[in-house]
């Protein structure tokens, strides 16, 4: 296992697995000082001219905090395991699914591990290790050439290149995607669609080793976000899907004009494989088992419950298989995270009805079947009565905007509405993924008093409570029951 890399590799591994909890909590820097003094003395005794400072060491430790967290998750439970499973033990036990499940339960429910992990999670939270990005509204006061004082404002999105966000920056290319979408793709799509605004204006970006920063137009003065818990009525859905049809249509033209513009957008939210799980599975792995357990308690759903139980061992294999599908009849550039929280609406001042919307958060854009965005949206964002009674009408609204966009640029071989329906049918599994993993978040009726957000989901105790709240809420139960009847 010897590895030539940063000294923080060994130090994070050791500190997060081997000291007593009170030592790890109260004497962490003392231990690092002991290590550093020995390190520096060795180099000095060998007449080494220059060597790293203690601050250099602390920087290395900071950059590799995620490795420390991973060690606490995967190694510390074994170290603190208080009893062996009666089903088996060791490597032989871990390769047997039944034994491994019992061993895992023992490891993660032990009193000593729980105490140690609570301390580690609090520290990780203080370091903002689990924060994906931070949004700031920046107001700039300045004096113009005419001598008058004035103000301007913009939105600044800040992403630390560490923790969970580092995985997104590396594996999902979220920073590169968002910058490319704002700076180049969306302005070109707007031109192709006759000037229709598709995104906030791009202002500036800073690409640092430890952080990524994007500055863009602030649309908050005349656009509003809808409360996710209210969901979208038909009027809002109509505005959203017209805009999506225009974006998809224009992107189809752009992809044919310049195919290389799509090279960056080869993956969406679901990345990885069964053998090498991605961030989506790491964050959502507890959702489907909880859905299965919840459905078991519903009278009249016994047959559906059996179907779900049979899916449980291979559900992520099915999701990964979906992510790798290449049988689309036609492709467009999808938004990739097309749900209620990612739209800003403008309203008619007299009627109060929505007249325009702009999608935001473009970091998961994905060049694939148009059904990707449509399944995600239809299974997460419309009100239940809209989803049930107007599904085909909404698809036709989307399709007409898509077709008109292509006709306006004299595009040949426009896909038919039947082609769209075929794409929707082939990607129903992604609609199910959305219903099982996104809709519970949308309809969550209250927060857990043990934690919330991504920080809460990384804490075992609060995560269980949050998932329970999500899947047992009245609104999600009603919506899910109707959706599952279609299985």
What residues does 152 pair with on adjacent strands? 140
Here the tokens at position 479 are 């919506």
State the DSSP string of 44-74.
HHTT-S----HHHHHHHHHHTHHHHHHHHHH
State the pLDDT at residue 91. 56
Continuous segment of H or E residues that includes residue 138: strand 134-143
Integer Cα distance of 398 and 391 in angstroms: 11
Blockwise average pLDDT, block size 10, the chain, 487 residues: 89 91 89 94 90 89 79 82 69 59 73 81 63 73 80 83 57 84 97 95 86 88 88 97 98 96 89 75 76 89 89 86 86 95 94 95 94 95 94 98 96 95 93 87 66 47 69 84 77
CB burial class (10 A; 0-12, 13-18, 19+) of residue 275? exposed
Q: For domain 220-485, give its CATH number from 1.20.58, 3.30.450, 1.10.1060, 3.90.1200.
A: 3.90.1200
Q: Is 81 helix (H, G, I), strand (E, B) or coil?
A: coil
Residue extents of the structural domains in the chain: 7-127, 220-485
What's the confidence (pLDDT) of residue 172? 67
Tens of pLDDT, residue by residue over 62-82, are 878 877 877 887 788 888 887
Residue 324 DSSP SS3: coil
Q: Identify whether the C-beta of residue 403 lies closer than 8 Å to the C-beta of residue 414.
A: yes
Report the C-alpha gap between 19 and 401 in whole angstroms: 62
Backbone angles phi, psi at 221, to 5 degrees: -70, -30
Residues contacting 139, CB < 8 A, separation 6+: 151, 152, 153
Looking at residue 401, what is its pLDDT? 98
> Angle 371-378/428-437 helices, nearest 10 degrees?
40
What does the alpha-carbon distance between residue 186 and residue 203 come to, in Å, rounded to a whole number? 13
- Residue 31's contacts (CB-CB under 8 Å, 6 or more residues apart) are 15, 19, 23
Q: 277 phi and psi, to 5 degrees?
A: -60, 145
Q: pLDDT tens for residues 235-262? A: 999 999 999 999 999 999 999 999 999 9
Q: Is the dihedral of CA 249, 252, 253, 254 positive or negative?
A: positive
Q: Which long-range contacts (CB under 8 A, 24 or more apart) does 113-116 make?
A: 113/76, 113/77, 113/80, 113/81, 114/460, 114/461, 115/21, 116/21, 116/24, 116/72, 116/76, 116/80
Q: Which tokens go with 298? A: 């519903």
The predicted structure's pLDDT at residue 373: 97
DSSP codes, 268-300: -S--B-SSSB-HHHHHHTTHHHHHHHHHHTSTT
How high is the pLDDT of residue 251? 97
């Amino acid at each position: 296992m010897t590895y030539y890399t940063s000294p923080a590799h060994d130090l994070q591994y050791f500190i997060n697995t081997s000291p007593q909890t009170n030592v790890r909590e109260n004497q962490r820097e003392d231990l690092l000082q002991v290590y550093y003094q020995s390190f520096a003395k060795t180099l000095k005794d060998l007449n080494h001219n220059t060597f790293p400072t203690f601050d250099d060491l602390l920087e290395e430790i900071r950059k590799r905090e995620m490795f420390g967290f991973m060690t606490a998750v995967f190694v510390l439970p074994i170290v603190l395991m208080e009893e062996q499973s009666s089903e088996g033990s060791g490597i032989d036990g871990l390769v047997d699914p039944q034994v491994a499940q019992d061993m895992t339960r023992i490891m993660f429910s032990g009193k000593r591990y729980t105490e140690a992990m609570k301390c580690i999670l609090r520290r990780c939270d203080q370091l903002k290790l689990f924060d994906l990005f931070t949004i700031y509204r920046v107001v700039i006061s300045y004096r113009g050439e005419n001598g008058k004082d004035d103000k301007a404002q913009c939105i600044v999105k800040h992403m630390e290149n560490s923790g969970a966000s580092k995985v997104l920056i590396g594996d999902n290319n979220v920073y590169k995607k968002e910058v490319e979408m704002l700076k180049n793709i969306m302005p070109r799509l707007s031109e192709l669609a006759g000037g229709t605004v598709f995104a906030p204006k791009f202002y500036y970006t800073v690409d640092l080793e430890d952080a990524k920063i994007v500055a863009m137009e602030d649309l908050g003065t005349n656009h509003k976000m809808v409360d996710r818990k209210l969901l979208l009525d038909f009027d809002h859905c109509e505005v959203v899907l017209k805009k999506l049809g225009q974006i998809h249509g224009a992107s189809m033209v752009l992809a044919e004009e310049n195919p290389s513009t799509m090279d960056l957008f080869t993956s969406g939210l679901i990345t990885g494989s069964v053998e090498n799980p991605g961030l989506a599975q790491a964050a959502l792995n507890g959702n489907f088992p909880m859905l299965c357990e919840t459905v078991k308690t519903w009278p009249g759903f016994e047959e559906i419950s059996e179907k779900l139980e049979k899916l449980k061992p291979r559900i992520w294999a099915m999701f990964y298989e979906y992510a790798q599908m290449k049988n689309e009849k036609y492709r467009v550039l999808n938004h990739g995270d097309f749900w209620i929280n990612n739209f800003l609406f403008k309203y008619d001042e007299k009627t109060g009805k929505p007249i325009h919307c702009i999608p935001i958060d473009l970091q998961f854009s994905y060049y694939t079947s148009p059904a990707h965005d449509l399944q995600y949206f239809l299974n997460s964002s419309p009100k239940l009565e809209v989803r049930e009674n107007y599904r085909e009408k909404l698809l036709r609204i989307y399709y007409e905007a898509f077709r008109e966009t292509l006709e306006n640029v004299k595009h040949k071989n426009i896909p038919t509405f039947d082609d769209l329906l075929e794409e929707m049918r082939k990607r129903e599994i992604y609609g199910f993924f959305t219903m099982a993993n996104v809709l519970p978040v949308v309809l969550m009726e209250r927060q857990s008093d043990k934690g919330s957000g991504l920080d809460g989901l990384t804490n075992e105790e609060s995560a269980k409570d949050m998932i329970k709240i999500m899947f047992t809420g009245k609104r999600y139960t009603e919506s899910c029951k109707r959706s599952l009847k279609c299985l």
